[in-house]
Amino acid sequence: MRSKDKISYFYDGDVGSVYFGPNHPMKPHRLCMTHHLVLAYGLHSKMEVYRPHKAYPVELAQFHSADYVEFLNRITPDTQHLFPSEMARYNLGEDCPVFDNLFEFCQIYAGGTIDAARRLNNQLCDIAINWAGGLHHAKKCAASGFCYINDLVLGILELLKYHPRVLYIDIDVHHGDGVEEAFYFTDRVMTVSFHKYGDKFFPGTGDMKDTGERDGRFYSINVPLKDGIDDGSFNRLFKTIISKVVETYLPGAIVLQCGADSLAGDRLGCFNLSIDGHAECVRFVKKFNLPLLVTGGGGYTKENVARCWALETGVLLDTELPNEIPDNDYIKYFAPDYSLKLPGGNIENLNSKSYIGTIKMQVMENLRCLQHAPGVQMQEVPPDFYIPDFDEDEQNPDERVDQHTQDKHIQRDDEYYEGDHDNDNHTDDA
């Protein structure tokens, strides 16, 4: 047992200021709300807080096709009408609209997950958190389900430079299809997704019989659930499956996607999980004491998303948070009771004991088909990406430099301080 986990936390206020559009359920503003709860509870003083680098196009193209990355980089709301065939090819439009600063948004959330993986690789922390990440639906050549760049795949590729085997766990209400698809043919990554399946629920994949192919056969695990699953059933199933997976697969690192749309009362979800029930999964995975990368994901009732991820930040820090939410810039969103915990829902639980038993039995059977953890002959570790330095002599002093670029020139600890030295107290994220 490690004496005390060292935790790195990634956040950039710009990520919460983008706007998908008036009727779109994805509200990145939930990330500002989460961060302000983290600050209000004083959790920032217990971990290292970093602003992530903006991922370079070449980094995004480690998974995505270069033409798709290039198109995301140049398309704007004003020019999208000029490219109808590309918009259709890359699945941009209704679910995945083009909005102002779209590419920068992708660079920031993907940069956070890549940075998190690198800090874990270099043993600079035990746990790394990027609540802005977890956009698990994005495909190699297309956007999908509100996701444009698949930061999870990029983070896992980074972890694979140092770890022969990486375990990916997904507790979003939607199937983690983009991550599963990326690693469907390899035994280097095991993907385990707990999600709603059936009734044409998005994305429509994630059947129990989809277990991977070729070298990846039996390395994709799907746990298809019906409406209304509650804390008790979900946690029992989760703990049984994940403990067996870790025992069998022996991963060197774990990536945990904590989509909060599996909570009761979510605008797009259909489960009955309380925040405590959701957080119990995080607590359980932490106990394995393996390098752990934690991301956000879905979650469309934004005050509940903020509650959930703030509480889970506390869980990762072994810090019990008072149920009464402290005063913060977004306190009005937590009216009328201003409490952190959210009870389970009361949708009818359609997951019978026999149905849960069948899932458990099938997953255990598939795990038995794995002979043992695959051996990987490790080559020389590829370098982290070369990030070009600025030549100060070539900088035009009359040219306006944005804050993000200025920050790169400053030697700093990248930490938040309390009182007058708090980097964050002059930022208006609303």
Q: Is 8 helix (H, G, I), strand (E, B) or coil?
A: strand
Task: Let me know: does 254 contact 285? Beta carbons within 8 Å.
Answer: yes
Distance between CA 224 and CA 68 in Å, rounded? 31
Query: Is residue 269 within 8 Å of 227, Cβ to Cβ?
Result: no
The Cα–Cα gap between 258 and 133 comes to: 10
Widest Cα–Cα separation across the chain: 71
H and E: helices and strands count for the chain: 12, 8
Whether the CB-CB separation of 317 and 292 falls below 8 Å is answered with no
Amino acid 323 reads N
CA distance 308 to 302: 10
- What is the C-alpha separation between 162 and 159, in angstroms, rounded? 6
Residue 7 · residue 48 · CB < 8 Å: yes
What strands, in cross-sheet order, belong to the sheet with 253-257? 48-50, 7-10, 127-130, 292-295, 253-257, 166-170, 189-196, 220-225
Token pair for residue 195? Answer: 């999600």
Residue 219 CA to residue 215 CA, distance in Å, equals: 8
User: Which of 81, 220, 78, 71 is closest to 143 using CA atoms?
Assistant: 71
**CB 187, CB 251: distance < 8 Å:** no
Query: Considering Cα of 200, then 202, then 315, then 34, what sign does the dihedral take?
Result: negative
Active site residue 163: no
Q: Tokens 């930022």 identify what position?
A: 427
Residues across the chain: 430
Residue 129 parent element (H or E): strand 127-130
Q: Is 65 exposed, middle or buried (0-12, 13-18, 19+ CB in 10 A)?
A: middle
For Cα atoms 286, 53, 417, give the angle at the middle one, nearest 5 degrees. Answer: 70
Give the closest residue to 47 by CA, choosing from 35, 62, 64, 59. 35
Helix (H) or strand (E) holding 360: helix 353-368
The single residue of 137, 163, 174, 278 carrying the catalytic annotation is 137
Q: Which residues are the active-site residues?
A: 137
